[in-house]
Amino acid sequence: MSNRDEYMPGPAAGAEVRKDAEKWTLVVVRELRHSPEKVWTALTDPASLREWAPFDADRSLASVGPVKLSTVGTPTPQISETEVTRADAPNLLEYRWGGNDMRWTLEPLGDGTRLTLWHNIDRNFISMGAAGWHICLDVLERLVAGDPIGRIVGGDAMQFGWPRLNTEYTKRFGL
């Protein structure tokens, strides 16, 4: 947890909104300096998820089938009994969380990975979601680099620039 106190997210970037009729999708793209295999582990391994993700999983997400995802950082833990629908290591992961579809794609990019998240999310929460994922992916990046700073979700994110990011994404998305 060496540099958690010094962590502050950069400006809103790398996210866009796609609208298809009444369905809104947040698309977040992040270029990471690590192999798809390393990033895949961070996205699927329950111990890794506990270090960065906004939920805990009761099993690995690396295979299709039922899974329980428990939201962390909320006043009451919300448990989604859900399903991993696609797990194509180390390229594609799809599951539902809290009634929303999540799709992660990992593409080799030089020695690293281009990570793309598609998250179907209610229009009223899309900027909040973008701000939250921005911080989570910063933490994921540090975890994969071997310099974990610990999960920053829920109320904790308030002290780490989440309100500013939420405002910036709201402006960027024109909402």
| pLDDT of 58 | 97
Residue 3 lies in a domain: no
Domain range enclosing 117: 15-173
Residue 55 lies in a domain: yes
Residue 9 lies in a domain: no
Residues facing 19 on adjacent strands: 24
Over residues 20-64, the pLDDT tens digits come to 888 899 999 999 999 999 999 999 999 999 999 999 999 999 999
Residues facing 90 on adjacent strands: none
User: Where would I find the H helices in the chain?
Assistant: 36-44, 46-52, 126-144, 162-173
Residue 72 lies in a domain: yes
Residue 10 lies in a domain: no
Q: By the 8 A CB rule, do 70 and 77 touch?
A: yes
How is residue 60 annotated by DSSP?
A: -
Strands 15-20, 112-120: parallel, antiparallel or unpaired by DSSP?
Answer: unpaired
Phi/psi of residue 143, each to 5°? Answer: -60, -50
Taking 60 as the threshold, does the pLDDT of residue 2 lie above it? Answer: no
Over residues 77-95, the pLDDT tens digits come to 789 999 999 999 999 999 9
Residue 41 lies in a domain: yes
| pLDDT of 107 | 98
CATH number at residue 82: 3.30.530.20
- Domain count of the fold of the chain: 1
Residue 123 lies in a domain: yes
